[in-house]
Every structure is written in structure tokens, then in C-alpha cells.
Amino acid sequence: MRLHRTRRVALPRLLGSLLLVTAAGISGIGAAPEGPVADGGPAAGPPRPLGQIVPAPVRAEPGGSPYTITPATRIRVGGDSGEVRRIGDYLAGVLRPSTGYALPVTGDGGDGIRLRLDEDNPELGAEGYRLKSGSGSVTITARGPAGLFHGVQTLRQLLPAAVERKSPQKGPWKVAGGTVTDAPRYAYRSAMLDVSRHFFSVAEVKRYIDQLALYKMNKLHLHLSDDQGWRIAIDSWPRLATYGGQTEVGGGLGGHYTKSDYREIVRYAASRYLEVVPEIDLPGHTNAALASYAELNCDGVAPPLYTGTQVGFSSLCVPKAVTYDFVDDVVREVAELTPGEYFHIGGDEAHSTSHEDYVAFMDRAQAVVGKYGKTVIGWHQLTGATPVKGAIAQYWGYDRTGAAEREQVARAAANGTKLVLSPADRGYLDMKYDKDTELGLSWAGYVSVERSYDWNPAAYLDGVPQEAVLGVEAPLWSETLTDSGEIEQMAFPRLPGIAELGWSPAATHDWEAYRVRLGAQGPRLSALGVDYYRAPQVPWATE
């Protein structure tokens, strides 16, 4: 359900981008230009180098003739797996509009673009793939469908950027000859979208999912509740959404996802091999819930709805029995809608909950998550309570985070709590790039593209064993963001860097090489209509 609201338009920023675009002689921010490009246009010339992709692959071995997609090309889906056929259909959906070719998806053998499952190849793991390209065919082999899907993203990136456009373009559609062998460094590669501070429609979330898939991310963490809005329908507590969801930061009309909306997001994410991780932030960040139900408050009085940007002022009433009826109902209903393994219970900035109450509350909330069959994730403050066995802590500290807090996280990690790393001064996509960035916040400092990319998750926190790091996340808080264009200005180009930290071997890490590969993504992002920030640190290609 979407409520109408007026959008704030960041005019100076928009004007700035337009001027920049004109000066650089590049079209394509916002709507992609239509119509075929001229002969000898961007797609002509040698194919892009194998390995010039983001995230960097484990191995790229160029050699042999390139493969060229032609009007006769077929997409061959081996075996009888319906999922492989579905990935073939997805690939055809990417390639048909721009190539203008029929690209039938067929089950038979022969040359063409071949998608194959093969249980051998243990080195590819659950998500890896091998892509072999030569004169007659390009073959993507994986042990499972997720690997094939990631291999398809590599194939996209090896083709000219114009392949991403939605109208016929002139080829040739060449893929360099050789072999790419690839598998992720980390199993947990996530992006978070805060749909609470501002509400984003199902279509806006799907658009973001497609962008995450291009960079091989595999989790979408949805921050579904906060002081400013409750965004998911709960049948047993209906006012959470119908009342608590009706506003957002700045006072605009918010909105919420019906259960069917949420299922559609989960389904769409799964079709792009992303798992949705729902977050209900507890026991702080709960003003929208407290405003919806007076009985959740210790004094029995509902506060007004909140549309500001302060944090730390709200808390569930830890001693009250009804609090646990609420937690049980909400976790049960959201868990029922969520096929994935994880349930995020927040736990950050509970500044209005005493430490004793916080520890008692987190014990009970974690037990509820376990009762409904999910693995607990909490922001790293969970390590100041008693993380249950198997719980995951999400580190969001930054350079000013005190030693005691870091040591507490490290101790928990040494004791078996796994970590997802999203340091605010590296991974928070809502931090301004520099002093001139119009959108975003700066409490963790400015986060340039280089700063966002240039850290090592395995060595980031002293005293944390490497095996404790499950992966990385790029959170995007939305106090200042109201639509897809604004999401994209902040997420791009930093999101591909966090995706690379999650996927690529540490040995490939090199800012100078990365910024060139990232620059080569510019024309692709433009072709996709992604409103990315043309960071001056990056040599943007003009394909």
C-alpha cells in the first residue's frame, strides 16, 4: 500500500548533475537515450578485457577467439532444471531488447550461450561459476543455480554497456575469448535499505534489487520499523501499519507493505538470488509502535507520531507482559512471510532502555526468534547483552568508536558470535561523499569512494578471528532520501565497492586498479538509467 506524498526535489543537485553531464559530453544519466548507435559506435572495436568486471573475479585467463552473439544465437539450458530455464529466460530478457535478436531459450545441445549445472567443480562452491568463451559458444557452468546467475552477471558485464539499453542498439555483441573462474570470498554480501525513515514502493525496492544482483550481492536487509514509520502489515496488531506507517521523516505520508507486497519483494529478490533479511528494530527505535498502541508504553499513554531525525528516545516497556505478546506476534508473522534464514532484531541505540532492561529484553527477543526457526542478527550492541549461540552481530562502529566497545565485539567474535561488517565510516552509503554532497548525513565523517572501498574486512577489527567474519553489508539510511534517484546518488558508485569487498579475493584488492574497473561501469550504469554520482576520483569511461 502506497500513500501519496509530495516529493522534495533537490534542484541544485539535479542542476549540478546536468551541468556535469553536458560538460563531459555524456548522455545517459536518468533516462537512457533511445535508438541504435551509429556504425563504428561504442560497441565496435575489441571486446572488453576478460576480467574487467566488478566484483573482480578470482581468475580471468584470456585466450582464443571471442564469442559473438548473432541473430541465430540460442540460449541453451542443459538438463531439466526449471530453475536453469528461468535463468535462461532472465538472460534473454536482458539481451533481447538491446540486441533485437530472438534468442530462443532451448533445452537442446549445440553452440550458443550455454548454461549448465555440474556437481563436480568443488572449487566453485555454492555460488561460484566458470565462464568459457570461444568462437562457437560461451558456456557458464556452476554447481547450483545461484552460481549460474552470478555467471550471467559476468556475461552481462563482458558485453558492451549498450546491451543494458531497452531499445535496439548496434552491436557487435562480442565477449572476449578465455575462461573466468570465480567464487565469492564471503557468503554474506548484503545491502540494507531503510524503508522506515522514508517509505519506498515495491517498484523502487525491485529496482534496487536488480542493481544489487548486477554486483553479485546475495542479501537484502530491509529496515522495516523505526521511530518514524512501521512498514509491514501485522494482522494481530493492525494499527502498527495503518497508523504507525502513515508518516515519514519530514511529515510526508509514508506507507507500508501489505503481506502480499512483502511476499512479492521476497519472491523478486529470490528470483535474483537475494535473500530478504527483515529487521524489526527493538527495543529502541520503536516510536511508531508505541504511538500505535498505548498499552505498549510503561505509562499507558501513546506518544505522538514522530517525523524528526533524532534517535535514542523511544523504548518498549521491558517489564510489561504485553511487550512480549507484541514481540512474539510480530516475529511470528514476519518470520512466516520470510523463507530466509535470518531475522534482524536491531538492538542499536537503545539509549532510553536501562542496561539491565536491555540485557533482559534481548534475552527474551532472541528466544522468540529461535522459537520461530530463524537465526538472530542484531546490531553490534547485542554483544553488550548475551548473544545466543549462532547469533550474528552487525558491526556499525567507526573511527571514533571507543576501544572498549570494539573489544567487546572482538571478545564476542572470539567466543563464536559471527560478524557482518558495515563500519559506518566505510560502508554507510548515506554518509556524504564530501562537503559538497547535498544528500546524506556526515556524523561518521565523509566517505569518499576510495575510503568506502579501501579496507579489509578480515583485518578490520583487532582481535577478531578471520573465520568470525561472515561478510559485509552496505546500509543505506533514508533520513534524507525519498526516491530511487536519491538512493542511486548515494549508493552508486560506492555500493559496487562493498560488493567487491564481499566477493573478490583479498589478493585482487588494489584501489588504482579498482577505480579503472569501476570507471568502466559508468556507461553501463548510464545505460541502465542509474543516477550515479560521477565521483572525481574515478576515471569514468565514455564508451
Catalytic site residues?
349
| Closest by Cα among 279, 60, 273 to 177 | 60
Nearer to ligand ACM, 210 or 349 (CB): 349
Q: Report, in Å, the least distance between residue 71 CB and ligand ACM.
A: 51
- Output the 3-class SS for 76-96: EECCCCHHHHHHHHHHHHHHH
Nearer to ligand ACM, 87 or 424 (CB): 424
Measured from the CB atom, is 29 or 377 closer to ligand ACM? Answer: 377
CB 348 → ligand ACM: shortest distance, Å? 4
Nearer to ligand ACM, 358 or 379 (CB): 379
Task: Supply the minimum distance, in Å, between the C-beta of residue 349 and ligand ACM.
Answer: 5
When asked if residue 379 is in the footprint of ligand ACM (CB under 6 A), the reply is yes
Q: Find the helix or strand (DSSP H, E) in which 129 lies.
A: strand 129-133
- Touching ligand ACM, residues 247-286 (CB under 6 A): none
Task: State in angstroms the smallest separation of the CB of 429 from ligand ACM.
Answer: 12
- Exactly one of 67, 149, 396, 492 binds ligand ACM (CB under 6 A); that residue is 396
Binder of ligand ACM out of 83, 329, 349, 438 (CB under 6 A): 349
The residues, any chain, with a CB within 8 Å of residue 196's CB and separated by 6 or more, are: 223, 224, 225, 226, 228, 229, 230, 231, 248, 281, 288, 478
Asked whether position 405 contacts ligand ACM by CB under 6 A, the answer is no
The nearest distance, CB 177 to ligand ACM, in angstroms, is 46
Indicate whether 348 belongs to the interface with ligand ACM (CB under 6 A): yes
Q: Which residue is nearest to ligand ACM (CB)?
A: 348
Q: Least distance to ligand ACM from the beta carbon of 128, Å?
A: 31
Q: Count interface residues toward ligand ACM (CB under 6 A).
A: 4
Q: How far is the CB of 347 from ligand ACM (least distance, A)?
A: 9
Alpha-carbon gap, residue 514 to 193, rounded angstroms? 25
Q: With respect to ligand ACM, which residue has the nearer C-beta, 424 or 525?
A: 424
Residue 237 has which C-alpha cell? 496488531
CA dist., res. 114 & res. 168, Å (int): 23
DSSP string, 252-314: ---B-B-HHHHHHHHHHHHHTT-EEEEEEEESSS-HHHHHH-GGGSTTS-PPPP--S---S--
**CA dist., res. 478 & res. 464, Å (int):** 30
Instruction: Give the DSSP letter string of 197-241.
Output: TS---HHHHHHHHHHHHHTT--EEEEE-EETTEE-B--TTSTHHH
333 binds ligand ACM (CB under 6 A): no
Contact 43, 37 (CB under 8 A): yes
Nearest to ligand ACM of 349, 407 (CB atom):
349
Which class for 108: exposed (0-12), middle (13-18), buried (19 or more C-beta within 10 A)?
exposed
Pick the closer one to ligand ACM by CB: 181 or 401.
401
Instruction: For the segment 407-466, give every residue that binds ligand ACM (CB under 6 A).
Output: none
Contacts of 184 (CB under 8 A, 6+ apart): 125, 127, 128, 216, 502, 503
Q: Does 479 bind ligand ACM (CB under 6 A)?
A: no
149: left (phi over 0), alpha (psi -120 to 50) or beta: alpha
Look at the block and give the residue holding cell 550481492. 217
Q: CB of 396: closest distance to ligand ACM in angstroms?
A: 4
Prior bond to 536 cis, omega within 30? Answer: no
| CB of 74 or CB of 219, closer to ligand ACM | 219
Residues in touch with ligand ACM (CB under 6 A): 348-349, 379, 396
